[in-house]
Amino acid sequence: MKIYHAKIVTPENVIENGTIEILEGKIASITEGEPEAIGLEDIDAAGRWVLPGLVDSHSDAIELELEPRPSSTFPIEISFFELEKKLAGEGITTIYHSLSLMEENAKKWIRQNDTVLQVIDDIKRLSAGKQLIRHKTHLRYEITNTVAVEDVKRMMKDGKIDQLSFMDHTPGQGQFRDLEVHKRLLMEHRHFTEEEAKQVIEDSKLLPKLDGEILTKLSELAAEYDIPLASHDDDTLEKIELVKSWNAVISEFPIELDVAVKAKEEGLYVVMGAPNALLGKSHSNNVSALEAVQTGAVDILCSDYYPSSLLHAAFKLYKGGMPIYQAFNMVSLNPAKALGIDAEIGSIEEGKLADLIFISEEGVRPVLEMVMVNGQVVCQMNYHHHAAVPIPM
């Protein structure tokens, strides 16, 4: 198959009128101009952007798909495949399903230990069958969950975890360093009264945490099994030094700009939320992703809680003056590099798997029209103009 008349975005430039040849699911060649011969199976991109499929390093979408309401839980056999269709329709060709291992009796069913362990098993089982996109797992391990250490070790040894991050949501530091903001979030999103929110905060402060030796052992095990390790909500320069001692490769959602800059200087891949970049602010009153991007402190955007944001945030950066290849490296090649999968995916380069998305533009809005994984079309949007219906007299 050949794709021609394409505006091809490579990691370093744009080929305005190029051709991609695909052989056995891989990119065999990338050339300027039209092909010498056009076959029936070839695709005319008609001047559309052809970009690498999006690599989402952190998405909570599976949680909401499984438990859209506190009293409504859906089977994984429905949720997994329904979510997959949505993700393909948003240009995401590789997803790291982020599951929070909060505690044994977490208020959210989806974040309880038994639930998380089962969902990870199910994702691995289902992704071994027919699929539209690539599925990976990202275990977010809350360090106040002191009873799950052996389960985490077992999952790493069994190849169930593709990315591990350490989280600490104790009030007074990290994401919830501002207790008033934390209280307001609990009241607005969890519908607690002010007194209930205060009590939740006080109870959370008293939770025991895993000691440093255990976290070090877990980080060493992750390294042994080639599992990329991320920190989460880094809020001090000292925290960056700590996560470096764990051989972490990713700093997710640093709270302050100077912390993001320090993480970048120390060689960590810095991840910020695409929703933050798209909206221009953090929902937790933390550093603006756009500000951090403008200072050069951000390598990767992830969809976090809103998968649609990934494509739109990258286009926002492009429309704001960033070269399109640089903007899309943040949602394709850079996350692939951080997660150790860039030898096969993450960019349009010869020898890599043909994960491609076709984009046209409507004003400043990117319009996704086709998605390919392994050189096969997995999603296609056939837009049409509304035809006016005559009103009978």
Give domain limits for the chain: 2-50+352-380, 54-170+207-338
Provide the 3-class DSSP secondary structure of residue 210: coil
Backbone phi and psi for residue 353, each to the nearest 5 degrees, phi listed first: -65, 145
Fold exhibited by the domain 54-170+207-338: TIM Barrel (3.20.20)
Indicate the burial class of 70 (C-beta count within 10 angstroms; 0-12, 13-18, 19 or more).
exposed
Structure confidence by residue, pLDDT tens digits, 93-102: 999 999 999 8
pLDDT, position 393: 65
Q: Using the 8-state DSSP alphabet, how is residue 251 labeled? A: E
pLDDT, position 188: 66
CA-wise closest residue to 311 among 280, 283, 332, 284: 332
Question: What six digits make up the tokens of 342?
Answer: 């860039």
| Residue pointed to by tokens 């975890």 | 161
Structure confidence by residue, pLDDT tens digits, 263-288: 999 999 999 999 999 998 776 667 89
CA-CA distance, 267 to 249, in Å (whole number)?
8
CATH 2.30.40.10 fits 2-50+352-380, yes or no: yes
Please answer whether residues 170 and 144 qualify as being in contact, where contact means their C-beta atoms are separated by less than 8 angstroms. Answer: yes
Question: What six digits make up the tokens of 49?
Answer: 């952007």
pLDDT, position 46: 96
Please answer whether residues 351 and 26 qualify as being in contact, where contact means their C-beta atoms are separated by less than 8 angstroms. Answer: yes
Please answer whether residues 338 and 32 qualify as being in contact, where contact means their C-beta atoms are separated by less than 8 angstroms. Answer: no
Question: What six digits make up the tokens of 347?
Answer: 């960019």
Those residues of the chain that have pLDDT short of 70 are: 105-106, 169-183, 186-191, 197, 199-207, 283-285, 387-393
